[in-house]
Amino acid sequence: MVCNKCGNKMIIRYGKYGFFGSCSNYPNCKNNIKLSEFMYEILKKEQLNIYSWKKECWKCHKLVPVYTYMIGKQMVPYMQQTYQIGNIGLGSIKKIDNYLIKNFPSINDNYSKTLSKTYASNNCIYCGALQGNNFVVDDPHEIYDDWLSGGMDKYIVKKIDINDIGLTENDLEGNQNNIVQIC
């Protein structure tokens, strides 16, 4: 994305109010935008990635496919590497979750006793056990090194045009303090 004031590249920075879009030419240019607007513009251009890999089912121990989006990971090329935006994946945004529930048989609205609520998550295709989002979205053990370094492209199985699911900038608000620190 290009700065509409000076033409330099826009990037994501982290400041006292969390993540925000900023001109790479700062401090000469002080143009900045909300994180939600930055993410919306990038997703509009690049589409929303759906990632999939094999995870060991905690119950039957077979390797089973799990699916999620990871919007923070899609923003890695645009940000300072010491911080990443965390946890914007399956279970975070209703419009995306509903699309995935309709189109991916292993994803369902599951009830979590721990969270006392229903949320979109994967089920084992063999035994049906819930594969909680903590080991899919927040801390995916099987692909941890790639997840940490942002090397997620090899796991992309589908790209979704965000207009097709009616995603708006509003749907992406409230994630600016969602932080993963990379050391």
Minimal distance in Å, beta carbon 13 to Zn ion? 13
Residues 6 or more apart whose Cβ sits within 8 Å of residue 72: 84, 85, 86, 87, 88, 175, 178, 180
Tokens matching residue 85: 């935006």
Q: Which is nearer to Zn ion, 12 or 88 (CB)?
A: 12
Q: Which is nearer to Zn ion, 87 or 131 (CB)?
A: 131
Q: Which is nearer to Zn ion, 25 or 112 (CB)?
A: 25
Minimal distance in Å, beta carbon 103 to Zn ion? 22
Minimal distance in Å, beta carbon 123 to Zn ion? 8
Q: Which is nearer to Zn ion, 59 or 141 (CB)?
A: 59
Q: Which is nearer to Zn ion, 5 or 159 (CB)?
A: 5
User: What sign does the dihedral 24-28-33-35 (CA atoms) show?
Assistant: positive
* C-alpha–C-alpha distance, residues 87 and 105, integer Å: 22
Minimal distance in Å, beta carbon 54 to Zn ion? 12
* C-alpha–C-alpha distance, residues 177 and 73, integer Å: 15
* C-alpha–C-alpha distance, residues 159 and 149, integer Å: 21
Query: Which residues are at the interface with Zn ion (CB under 5 A)?
Result: 3, 5-6, 8, 23, 25, 29, 31, 57, 59-60, 124, 126-127, 129
Minimal distance in Å, beta carbon 94 to Zn ion? 27
